[in-house]
Chains A and B, each alone.
Chain A
Amino acid sequence: MMKILVCISNVPDTTTKITFTNENTQFNTAGVQFVLNPYDEIALSRAIELTENGNGTVTVINVGEISTEPTIRKALAIGATDAVRINAAPHDAYYVAQQIAAYAKDQSFDLILTGRESIDYNGAKVAAMLGELLDIPSVSIIKKLDVDGNAATVEREIEGGKEVITIPFPFVAGTAEGVAEWKIPNMRGIMSARTKPLAVVEPVEVKTLSDVVKFETPTPRGTVKLVDAADPEKLIELLHSEAKVF
C-alpha cells in the first residue's frame, strides 16, 4: 500500500490578465478565476495512476483560506482519496513548506509530490524546502516517475538533457510535463467529491522570512516594426545593425 501526499496550490487561471491594487502592493483578485495549479494536476494524475486498483491512497494538502475549497474539491473529483486544508494564507514558500512539513512528519507518506512550480509566484521552491525540513531527498523538476517496490526512478531535467535517478521512499518530487496526462474528472468523481473527507487543520507558528512589498507590470514594447515579406534581408540587416543581437 502506497501512501502519497500531493501538495496543491490555488492559482489564477492561465489566461488571467494580471493587475494590482493598493498602489501596486496587492494582486487584484476581482473577477479572477482560480484553478488548481496545472503542474499540481500532473502530480495528482500520476499519484492516482500509481495507486489504481486499491494499491494505495492519495491525500491532497493545501495551505490556504476557506476560499480555496472549490479547488480542493476539484482535486477530490479528479480522484484524491481525502484532503487536508491548513487554514492560513500562504505567506511565502517557506511558510507553506513549514506547514506541510508539520503535517506530514508523523504521517509516514512514501511519496510527497508537488508541481514543479506554482504559476503565480513561480518559486519552484516548496519541493526542495519540504525535503530539507523533513530531512529526506528531493528532486525539483522531474519529467518521469516510475515506482518499483519501495523506490522510484525519476528523470530530472538538466540543461540540454536529463538525469536518471533512483531514490528510495520517502522523498519529495516536483512534477513537470511528461510525468502524466491531465485527467478530467468524470460525473462519478464530481458526485463523490462532495462527501470525501476534507480536514481543516490550524497552522503552526512560523517565522516570516520574506514579504512581497510591491508589484510592477513590464513596460510595454513599442509598436512592432514590420518588414516587407519580399525583403527578409532587411530584417536580418536590422537585427544585425539596429538591434545588434548578432
Chain B
Amino acid sequence: MDESYDVVVIGAGFGGPVAARKCALAGLKTLLLERSARPGEKVISGLTIPFYGFLFGPDFIRDGNPPIERPVDGIVNYIVKDIERGDIEVDDSLRIPRPLSPVLAFGYNAYCRPFCQWEADRAVEAGVELRTSVTVTELYREDSRVAGVITEDGKVIKARAVIDAEGSQALLAVKAGVRKKYPPDVISLADVYDYRMDKDRVDRILGFSNRFVWAWDEQRLAPPLGFGNGLMVWPYRESIHFMQDQCLKMERGGKAPNLARLFREYHRNITSKLPWWRDEIAPHAELRAHMWDSFEIYVGLDGELRKMPMCANGLLIIGDAAGLESTELCDGVPAAWFSAELAAETAIEAIFGGDVSERKLRKYQMRVESHPLIRWSISGTNRYDLRYAQKSHDIRLLRKCVHNGWGVGAFTHASTPLLLTALRAIQENPMVITSWLRMFPRYFRNWLFESFDPLSDDRPEVFRCDAYKAPKSTPGESTAAGGVPEHSSVVTEALAGPGTGGSAGVETLGTEEPSSVVATPGDPLKEARESRSFSSNEVINDAPLRGWETQTGSQISGGTLLRMAQKGLACLDGLVFMLGPALSGTAKLMEPLARLANPVATAALPVVEVILKGWRRMEPLLEPITERITRLLVESR
C-alpha cells in the first residue's frame, strides 16, 4: 500500500523546513524530502540574509541560535572609473556606523549547508519526518489534483497537500505544467569562490562589510552591470566568498556569451588589478571551493513571468520555485521564509477545513502578493536602471543607481514595505517587539563565542567545516602563556578605517545565556575558543578569562549588566503584554501612515546622509566607547 501523509514538502533548503515545521506543529503528519544526502549541501549562495528576513520571518529562527558566519554592518560599493589609474569611488552609505554595529546588524552572512541543516533539525524536533537522498521525479496526480509525489524508485507517497520548495529550477512544477521554464535572459549564472583566510585578517581587511565592485564592461573587471550583479565579496568568519554573475543571454533567442571564458577573465583581472584584493587578500587567501549555480533574479522584471501561478489543486509552490528571488536586493531567503509560512498557514486551514482545491489554496497566492516585502523585492526596477546607466557610460547616473540600489538611497523605496511589515507583525503579536530587541545582541554574542546550536550530522565526515565541528586551536597564538596581549592598538587599528573590524554592543540589551556558555572544565569547544586567534576580538575572548575588569577597575561588571538588562527586558515584556491591545490598535491605525514612509525618506535623505557622513568620520573618536561597550558585553558571559 502507498504511504500517506497530510503534507509532503519537497526540498530541505531554506524554505522547505520552515513550511514543514509549521505543519507538524499544527498536528499534521508531515514528510520532508531532500535529494542530497545532507540538507543544504547542494544549496549554493552568497550569502547575506538581511535583517528583515530574521525580524519578520519564522519565530524559531529569530528566537533561536542558528549558525551564522559573521554579522554584516552593510555594503561598501566601489565604483571603478579607471582601474589602470586607480580611479575608484567609494559609496559606503549603506553601512550602520559604530558603535551601533555590528551588534545592530544589516544582515548575517552564513554558509547554506550548516544553516539548512539547522533548520531541518528544528523541523525534525517539531515532529517532521525527514528523508534525505531521495529525489522526487514527479508530482503524483489523481484526476486533476496533485495528491502526492513519485520518488525515483517509482514509489508513490500520497499527501493531502504538497508544498514544493525545490528551488529555482522548479523542474517538478514545470513538468507538471503548473509553471513554465524561465527564458535564459532572466536567469543569471553565479560563479562563486570560497577562500580560506585567517580570521584576524578578515577582521582587519573586510571587517563587517560586504564589498561590491561596479565597473564599465570594457574594463573586464566585473560582468556587465544590469545583466549581472557586478562583483561581490562577503566576509565570513575565517573565510571570504567572492561572487560574480551574469545572465545567460542578453536577449531571448540570442547567442549565449562564452561565460566560462569571460568569468575566468573577470576573475583574473579583479584579483590582479583591484588594489585591496591584489595587495591584501591575494597573498593570504587560499581557494578551497569553486562553485556555480544559476538563479532567477530577473524574473520579477518580466510582468508576464511574474503572473505565473504559485498553486494548483493540492499544490503550493514556495521560495525560488515560485519565482520569489528578489530583483531588488537579490536576496531570496527572506521571501522563501515568508512564503513558506504563508503556504503552511494556507495548507493547515485547507486541510482542517477539508478542502484543498485550487480555489481554497489560491488564498496563498493572494497572501504572497499582498506581502509588502515580497511585493517590493520582486518588482523593483533598479536592475533595469543599472543596465541603462551602464550602457550610457554616465558616471553620475551610475553613481545614483548604485546609491539607490545598494546605498542608503534604497530606503527611498524600502521604507514603506519595511514599516508596513513591522506594523502587521505587531498587530499579530505585540510581544514580537521584545523578541526583536533580544535578537541582535544574542546573535552577536553567539557569533563572538561560536555558541550556536549543535548540528546533527549522521553522514561520515568528508569535509572539515571548522566552525561547526570541533574547532582547531591555533598554535603560537594561544592565550595559555598568561601575559595580557597588547590588544588596544589592534582594536584601534581595526576600528579606524571605514568598514573595518571592531565590535560594539548596545549595552542595555542582554539576553538569556546560550546553553553552551555553561562550559564544563575540559570542554573541547571552550578550550578551542579560548585558544582561537582574534584580532579586534582578542580583547573580547581574553578579557573574561583573565579578570580583565580588575585591571581596568571597571565599576560595573558585565554580569551585573546582563542581570540589569534581563530585568529591564522582563519589565518591557510585562509592559508590552499589558499594553498589547493598545499597541495592536495603534499599529493598525498607523498602517495608512506607513504609505508616507517612502516620500518622507526621500525628502529626509539629504539630511540623513550628512548626519551619517559626519558620524562615520567620528568613528575613530567613538572607539573608546565602542571598546568599552564590547568589553561589557563580553564580560556578561
Do A and B form a real pair?
no
